[in-house]
Amino acid sequence: MILTPFFLAAGGSLGKWIAKLHETFIENERYKMMFEGFRNTLVITLGALVIGVTIGMLIAVVKYLAEDVPGLKPFAWVCDLYVKIIRGIPMVVLLLIFYYIIFALAKDGVPVAIVAFGINSGAYMAELIRSGINAVDAGQMEAGRSLGMSRIQAMRVVVFPQAIRYILPAIGNELIALLKETSVAGYVAVMDVTRAGNLIRNNSFDAVNPLMLVAIIYLVLVLLLTWLLGKLERRLKTGDKR
Amino acid sequence: MISVKNLQKDFGGVKVLKGLSTEIEKGDVICVIGPSGSGKSTFLRCLNMLEKPTGGKIIFEGDDLTDKKVDLDRHRQKMGMVFQQFNLFPHMTVMKNLIVAPMMLKKIPEEQAKAKAMELLGRVGLVDRADSYPNQLSGGQKQRVAIVRALCMEPDVMLFDEPTSALDPEMVGEVLDVMKKLAAAGMTMVVVTHEMGFAREVSNRVLFLDDGVILEEGTPGEIFDHPRNERLQSFLAKVL
């Protein structure tokens, strides 16, 4: 009996909440900002992932080969410098430099953000791909070479297919970090999820709902990625015939 | 087939090989014995340049392998190697382990490579394991597969780096049997080993290495029954 008014009250506040949501998100079609932000966050994250993995792979292979080929030493040195510089600069600062100095003429911030986040990610990818390659027993490369394979051939068919078991989960973790890091894209006027939420907060005078929604979107995306990663890792384990 | 001339190797200032010279002729079965740390494995690994010598020459079939301009990969195809730790490729089936190099490097068609691999697997009694992965094999089986993998490249010489040292005692025999058959078939072999029985029975020449030099070299009879060098005598007293 005592519970009845509570339910009524809850129903009442639920109704109020829905009205508030309508006011915050539907009026002036503010939800459209959120859609655009969601799309941009995904585009920047995936674009940066592709660039990052490509750069990381290139650097890892150059540095690995340079251990044996003296001609590659200067390239390895350049790679080291790149990794050191990038890892020493905060992402936001890097993004501002790319937008206001290097691509000062760019009208759209999204491609600039993709490049900036990709170049940043590449430095971290390089290190984790390299440690994956180094985790494979040195005897594997020797066995390949002893059969007459070149360093690159042995890398391709012997070492790398084994290193991938260590590398993929690490790339997944980097992807999660990257996704969350893109929340600073708003610094260069890119409409990502975070900036969309913040703009809606500003326009609607409702701070709670837009910011909670932003947080929930990131959380759900991260949980989704984590779940996919777990599946991947289990698959790599069962495929492990060692 | 292989002439080793004044071979030297330093590891960060430590002289491991201090000038070895020897000749390996076609059909030779040479066992390299000596105490641990004497440089046996380093010597063997220098023969196919897995270790880069710091001095001296390795002349293989007329070409100096220490020459920077020589195509090492092409020469290594002719020098099979068997490792103490097998080093099979764990992500490939036995069959794939055997055919990957011949198909990639010698452009042998898959069917032909497989037929050859099956024939060689038959000779070591492992036809039924062609579709297994290395982790499903015993140590002795792994090492027999590793020998077959090297043989699939049809090498002119086989290098064995302590091939039975990582095996359980009951599996040593099956690997040595395969090596004996190989020797009987006329394969040129250089074997670093602690199996004195094998060295005495199968080899035609034994090298005794100690402290980075060949202290004594001769037929198994000379080495085992009439050792001249004092250190060889005391080594044999400990291991026989």
Look at residue A2 and tell me if it is in a domain: no
How many domains is chain A built from?
1
Structure tokens belonging to residue B93:
């089936």
Q: What is the mean pLDDT of residues A30-49?
A: 95
User: In this prediction, does ipTM exceed 0.90?
Assistant: yes
Of B80, B81, B91, the CB nearest to A162: B91
- Interface with chain A: mutation pick from B42, B46, B89, highest number of A CBs within 10 Å: B89
What was the pLDDT predicted at A238? 61
What are A130-144's pLDDT values in tens digits? 999 999 999 999 999
Look at residue A68 and tell me if it is in a domain: yes
What was the pLDDT predicted at B186? 94
A-to-B residue pairs, Cβ atoms closer than 8 angstroms: 68
What are A213-240's pLDDT values in tens digits? 999 999 999 999 999 988 888 887 765 5
Look at residue A234 and tell me if it is in a domain: no
A173 touching chain B per CB within 8 A: no
Query: What percent of chain A stands above pLDDT 70?
Result: 93
Note the helical H segments in chain A: 3-21, 31-66, 73-88, 91-97, 109-134, 138-146, 151-154, 160-181, 193-204, 208-238
Q: Distance, in angstroms, between B223 CA and closest chain A CA?
A: 31
B104 touching chain A per CB within 8 A: yes
Amino acid identity of residue A97, one-letter, is I
pLDDT at B216 over 90: yes
* Helix, strand, coil content of chain B in percent (nearest 5): 40, 25, 35
In whole numbers, what is the pLDDT of chain B averaged over residues?
A: 95
Look at residue A137 and tell me if it is in a domain: yes
* DSSP state letter for A36: H
What was the pLDDT predicted at A3? 53
Nearest to A138 by CA among B12, B65, B122, B51: B51
Give the chain A residue nearest B154 (alpha carbons): A147
What are A49-86's pLDDT values in tens digits? 999 999 999 999 898 888 878 888 899 999 999 999 99
Q: Distance, in angstroms, between B51 CA and closest chain A CA?
A: 10
More confident residue, A71 or A43: A43
Q: What is the mean pLDDT of residues B10-24?
A: 92
- Residue B63: Cβ-neighbour burial (10 angstroms; 0-12, 13-18, 19+): middle
Of A149, A158, A242, the CB nearest to B105: A149
Look at residue A169 and tell me if it is in a domain: yes
Q: Distance, in angstroms, between A62 CA and closest chain B CA?
A: 20
Looking at beta carbons, which residues of chain B come within 8 Å of A237?
Answer: none
**The residue to which tokens 């701070």 are assigned:** A207
Look at residue A115 and tell me if it is in a domain: yes
The packing angle between helices A31-66 and A73-88, to 10°, is 150
What was the pLDDT predicted at B162? 95
A143 touching chain B per CB within 8 A: yes
Q: Distance, in angstroms, between B219 CA and closest chain A CA?
A: 29
Q: What is the mean pLDDT of residues B145-170?
A: 96
- C-beta atoms of A139 and B74 within 8 A: no
pTM over 0.90: no
Of A143, A149, A150, the CB nearest to B87: A143
What was the pLDDT predicted at B30? 96
Q: Report angle CA B97, B101, B103 to the nearest 5 degrees.
A: 105
How far apart are the C-alpha atoms of A112 and A103, rounded to whole Å?
A: 7
Q: Report angle CA B69, B70, B72 to the nearest 5 degrees.
A: 130
Are A215 and A198 in contact, with CB atoms under 8 Å apart?
no
What was the pLDDT predicted at A9? 47
What was the pLDDT predicted at A66? 87
Look at residue A206 and tell me if it is in a domain: no
- Interface with chain B: mutation pick from A147, A155, A157, A158, highest number of B CBs within 10 Å: A147
Sheet holding B188-192: strands in order across? B79-82, B157-161, B188-192, B29-33, B205-210, B213-218
pLDDT band at A10 (very low <50, low <70, confident <90, very high): very low
How far apart are the C-alpha atoms of B104 and B92, rounded to whole Å?
A: 15
In whole numbers, what is the pLDDT of chain A averaged over residues?
A: 89
pLDDT band at B12 (very low <50, low <70, confident <90, very high): confident
- CATH number, residue A178: 1.10.3720.10
Look at residue A130 and tell me if it is in a domain: yes
Q: What is the mean pLDDT of residues A201-214?
A: 91
pLDDT band at A2 (very low <50, low <70, confident <90, very high): low
B135 touching chain A per CB within 8 A: yes
**The residue to which tokens 């069959």 are assigned:** B95
Residue A70 lies in domain: 40-184
Q: What is the mean pLDDT of residues B132-136?
A: 95
Query: What percent of chain B stands above pLDDT 90?
Result: 96
Q: What is the mean pLDDT of residues B91-99?
A: 96
Q: Distance, in angstroms, between B89 CA and closest chain A CA?
A: 7
What are A87-121's pLDDT values in tens digits? 999 999 999 999 999 999 888 999 999 999 999 99
pLDDT at A160 over 70: yes
- Residue B221: Cβ-neighbour burial (10 angstroms; 0-12, 13-18, 19+): exposed
Give the chain A residue nearest B152 (alpha carbons): A147
- C-beta atoms of A147 and B134 within 8 A: no
Q: What is the mean pLDDT of residues A172-200?
A: 94
What was the pLDDT predicted at B37? 87
Of B50, B135, B136, the CB nearest to A146: B50
Give B23's strand partners: B3
Q: Distance, in angstroms, between B227 CA and closest chain A CA?
A: 34
Give the chain B residue nearest A141 (alpha carbons): B87
What was the pLDDT predicted at B15? 92
- C-beta atoms of B73 and A148 within 8 A: yes
